[in-house]
Amino acid sequence: MFRRLGQVTVLLALAFVELPAIFLTALMLLLSFALGMVFLFPMGTTLIRRLAQQNRRLLRRWTGIEIEQPYLPKPPPPVPQADGMYRSDRTLYKTPRVPAWNDRWKWLLTDPATWRDALWLLLDPAVKLTLMPLLFAVPERGLRVYTAWSDLLLGATANSRLAGQVSHLRRTRNLATDSQAAEMRRIERDLHDGTQARLVAIGMTIGAVEQLVDTDPAAAKALLAKARDASSETLTELRRVIRGIHPPVLAERGLADAVRALAMDSPLQVSVEAELEHRPEAPVEAAAYFAVSELLSNAARHGDARTATVDLSSNGRDLRITVTDDGLGGADPAKGSGLAGIERRLAAFDGVLALHSPPGGPTAVTMELPRVLPENGLDNLTTLPRWKAATVILLWATAWCPTFPQGLVAAIFKIFGIEEKTWFVALYLPEIWQWPAICGMIILGVIMHVLAIRIPATHNRERWMIHATPTRPWCP
């Protein structure tokens, strides 16, 4: 109780900070738009956002309710043109400083959350004053009511969530494109430096055989044998390149068996534990396979490891992969260990990577790809829960009674003056209550029919929303 009263006291005390902030930001906005001192607008907006963020942080700590930030994604940094100049509207600049400032100013000005924050700051002291009796009388309930008010103006909207998802998808697409381009360059380099060079050497050897076949058959036979060995080596190398593109075992037997085959070819002593009832889609399998391959390669080349463990498991529809080795540790994505490339692969599927690699080891890498596995028991999920199904059956079984006999039919009897009352409840009431009762019966029946239709429809829509909404990535 005393803790809650302390929180309420702090909350009300912040109103004395908000009052001068209101005056200061109002002055900044007035000078920005009336006198053209536009450099003050970002400063005032930043002040308001910091106060709003502090309010969200305190309410999350006190009530456990998360008020999601509603701000639109920040504009990307300016990109130079082919001539090295930076464009902002119709003006060119030599440095990105002015275009970046213009983009930030427009972003703050056009973001609806900026003005919602300003409205919150203007009204918040009055709201706190109004809620003061409730806050001190029932602190728990008062904080909940105040949190609801804060969420009304400071919480995320459908548009801000959609804009955030679009921005996330754009970043994911760019990462996937960069990863694909890097993969194509690697394949091109392998073919150019390895397979192509060997084929050229084989061609030159065969040319030498053509010159020696008549004058020195023994030398020609030796060169042919050499060409045969070179062709065998080229075929082996070409198969290795193909496996680097998409291993046949991965397509034929799935992720678990492909990782087991990878473990057998690894110089480390690798144990694989796999508990996957269903296979993910092929692109997901490929991303997971090459991520494990890169981690085992890093452990052998850079970590001086001798043993490693790969664990493949599922948590609902989430795929989790943990690779642990007994190497030297100290892995750092910034040092070019291949972890950045793995993150790019996983980002295409909203996947994330968590690294624990203290100096001296061991190194543990956990990768999680959300909602990539097929559902278990899909037919059971498409059906309603028992209580919902029973409610729908009950509604369909009884909705006809108030709609038709007690409603529409009773109305017909009333309109035509039929004196037979039979079992129509409304006709037994006093005259003044008969029509309200008839209309109430019809409305009740319509509501029951609507509920009988809406409950299954809402259930299916909720399932679709759960499956269609991308999961927020978590950070290592």
Structure-token pair, residue 35: 């006198």
What's the CATH architecture for 253-369? 2-Layer Sandwich (3.30)
Rounded-to-integer distance, Cα 255 and Cα 276, Å: 9
Q: Where are the domains of the chain?
A: 2-168, 173-245, 253-369, 381-468
| Contact call for residues 467 and 316 (beta carbons, < 8 A) | no
Q: What does DSSP say about strands 269-274 and 352-356: parallel, antiparallel, or unpaired? A: unpaired
Does residue 207 or residue 385 have the better pLDDT? 207
Structure-token pair, residue 189: 């380099």
Rounded to two decimals, the pTM is 0.47
pLDDT in tens, 50-75: 999 999 999 999 888 888 888 888 88
Q: What integer pLDDT is reported at residue 310 of this predicted model?
A: 93
Q: What integer pLDDT is reported at residue 379 of this predicted model?
A: 41
- CA dihedral (379, 384, 390, 394) in degrees, to 10, reads -110
pLDDT in tens, 118-142: 999 989 888 888 888 888 888 888 8
Rounded-to-integer distance, Cα 311 and Cα 323, Å: 7
Rounded-to-integer distance, Cα 74 and Cα 264, Å: 47
| Contact call for residues 301 and 321 (beta carbons, < 8 A) | no
User: Token pair 């399998």 is at which residue?
Assistant: 285
State the chain's mean pLDDT as an integer.
Answer: 81
Name the DSSP letter for residue 470.
P
List CB contacts of 222: < 8 A, sequence separation 6 or more.
Answer: none
Structure-token pair, residue 50: 């910091």
Neighbours of 118 (CB within 10 A): 20
Rounded-to-integer distance, Cα 68 and Cα 151, Å: 8
Q: What integer pLDDT is reported at residue 344 of this predicted model?
A: 77
Number of H helices, E strands in the chain: 17, 7
35 backbone dihedrals φ, ψ, rounded to 5°: -110, 5
pLDDT in tens, 159-216: 777 777 777 667 666 666 666 666 677 777 767 777 777 788 888 888 888 888 778 8
pLDDT in tens, 287-322: 888 889 888 888 888 888 899 999 999 888 889 999
| Contact call for residues 159 and 112 (beta carbons, < 8 A) | yes
Q: What is the mean pLDDT of residues 13-23?
A: 89
Does residue 376 or residue 85 have the better pLDDT? 85
